[in-house]
Chain A
């Protein structure tokens, strides 16, 4: 078992991704905020400004004419997508480091998170109770941040954990983590999210994404979106190593979404398509 103090120290060591991202999150939490507040925050950060404009002019968003102002770019992409861009662009320590404890190579975490984010966003289109797609995108992007903290404590124990799953001694990989180090990536992700002062909705979606039935009613739709988004990314071949496909689907999602198996398959295709588009943009700039 790893002591809570040791893990808490590691959480404190994780640099906060981007102050701007969280400032925007705070602003948009207020229902009465204006677009001008968000635009101003983006414009105050030169690298984020260029990143947002680049995304807005990419094939994923291009609408026939060049986007030259942040005002138009934010309108086009949505505020939460801008937050997502800011988090990803400034968190290479979380997204571009190998997760050795999961036997996962550099880039896997980024790819899995981005695919989960796209899938979570797409799933919201079928929600019985409407939630902002951008919020689901950001929650999908962040859902596995706990792995970046606990990975080092799992090094050398991966095969044993896999064996626990294969011999059905545990229900899923989350339980294998708990049995091995006394905690899991959801719990630690939640602690990291709190340390970063993320909005409550994101903290709880991170904490409950493998057990969405535990989420409060207020956050159930969001948490189930991330739960399904995560599984869709894995089913599409993108996981983070040893825990890939080692979780079960909570079928109670049917109470929160009107979605058929065929529509889920369509989401898989959209994820692949959107992911390749975004990846091509980043690769062309040498950023992925």
Chain B
């Protein structure tokens, strides 16, 4: 069950497009928490009960990769699934991100279909795991 999604991106327009994609993908009842950089996202993840973190890679203060490292190193947040939005459609980078703990990598431009695929996979894993 995905109830609360933390969206981290320094662009408010990008955050809004991510949210619209998630809603169109069928997750109409999800509620969102927004962060403008990795540092804020980490803080919000610690303070709230979050079911999923969607983060951009390039952000000020703390980038998406560093954010993910902190999340995966935290005993409390270790199991929080992280979906990374990447502007590089590069298999090597994608593999690296997955190896570092990303549940899925969604390439830009983000679409309802690409979000649906990532979230459906997450729900399936949740069901079986």
Contacts and interface: CB of A to CB of B under 8 A. Distances in A.
Contacts of A245: 17, 20-21, 24, 112
B17 A239 contact: yes
A236 B110 CA distance: 8
Contact of B16 (A166, A235, A236, A238): A166
24 contacts: A103-B11, A103-B12, A103-B13, A104-B13, A159-B12, A162-B12, A162-B13, A162-B16, A166-B16, A235-B24, A235-B111, A235-B113, A236-B111, A237-B108, A237-B109, A237-B114, A238-B109, A239-B17, A241-B13, A242-B16, A244-B13, A245-B17, A245-B20, A245-B24
Interface residues on A, range: 10 to 19
Nearest to B17: A244
A158 interface: yes
Contacts of B19: 166
A166 B110 CA distance: 19
Interface string B83-126: 00000000000000000000000001111111000000000000
A170 interface: no
Contacts of B12: 103, 158-159, 162
Interface in B10-28: 11-13, 16-17, 19-21, 24
A242 B20 contact: no
Nearest to A103: B13
Contacts of B21: 245
4 nearest CB pairs, A to B? A237-B109, A245-B20, A103-B13, A237-B111
A241 B13 CA distance: 7
Contact of A242 (B13, B24, B110, B111): B13
B24 to A, nearest CB: 6
Contacts of B20: 244-246
A119 B22 CA distance: 23
A261 to B, nearest CB: 12
A229 to B, nearest CB: 16
Q: Which residue of B16, B21, B108, B112 has the most chain A CB atoms within 10 A of its CB atom?
A: B16
Contacts of A166: 16, 19
A87 B19 CA distance: 35
Given A235-B113, A236-B109, 18 more contacts: A103-B11, A103-B13, A159-B12, A162-B12, A162-B13, A166-B16, A166-B19, A235-B111, A235-B112, A237-B108, A237-B110, A237-B111, A238-B109, A239-B17, A245-B17, A245-B21, A245-B24, A246-B20
B8 to A, nearest CB: 17
Contacts of A242: 13, 16
Contacts of B16: 162, 166, 242
